[in-house]
Amino acid sequence: MNKADRAAYIDQKLEELFPETPIPLDHTDAYTLLIAVLLSAQCTDVRVNQVTPKLFKKANTPKKMVKLTVQEIEDIVRPCGLAPRKAKAIHTLSQMILDLHGGEVPGNFEDLEKLPGVGHKTASVVMAQSFGVPAFPVDTHIHRLAQQWELTNGKNVDQTEKDLKKVFPEDRWNKLHLQIIFFGREYCPARSCDGLSCDICKTCFPSRKRKKEYKRS
């Protein structure tokens, strides 16, 4: 298979396996999604979903969040790791949303990426899932699988994002990035596939004999 054929097969296979793609992080609106994604950095979605109910019970809007101290936020989000940094970012970005955006999460990449703790990946998730803007957030699962499927050279996550946007239709990006994550977790985890075991790897690369090494970003 060439790259275009692989992309078409992968697209079809993932749609068959995961026709529904619920967002793994529990949230109720753009603001709570933004906070949940920020907390998910170097933390599992499961752990974030255990922590956010307590946080959002106290503060589920920017106005309520800034009434908490940074220490109060830190005490709640500590199980997510990097708590001092994340707590400060949550408090500061909440104040910025109030001061600069009328209390509403901005619906564009430029303003989102100016918020502390919000990188391109976090902004992409919010833009895709809260505002319906085509985006292709690249996490570790996607970065790894894109290399295993030889859709990118894996130089870095920015390049992986660009390469994936080239081979998949724009109207599939928002759903497909979740489908790839789900597939990586369920069928092609890093510890048990290595480009040799899952159905997609075997179908796309039937003659592959060696484990596929991938570059971490």
Active site residue 57: no
**Strand locations in the chain (E):** none
Catalytic one of 86, 121, 163, 194? 121
How far is the C-alpha of 101 from the C-alpha of 130, rounded, in Å? 16
Active site residue 121: yes
Name the DSSP class of 171.
Answer: G
Are 151 and 167 in contact, with CB atoms under 8 Å apart?
Answer: yes
Longest dimension (CA), the chain: 60
How far is the C-alpha of 172 from the C-alpha of 176, rounded, in Å? 6
- How buried is 112 (Cβ within 10 angstroms: 0-12 exposed, 13-18 middle, 19+ buried)? buried
- How buried is 9 (Cβ within 10 angstroms: 0-12 exposed, 13-18 middle, 19+ buried)? middle
Q: Which residue has the tokens 């699962």?
A: 141
Catalytic one of 11, 13, 139, 212? 139
Active site residues: 121, 139
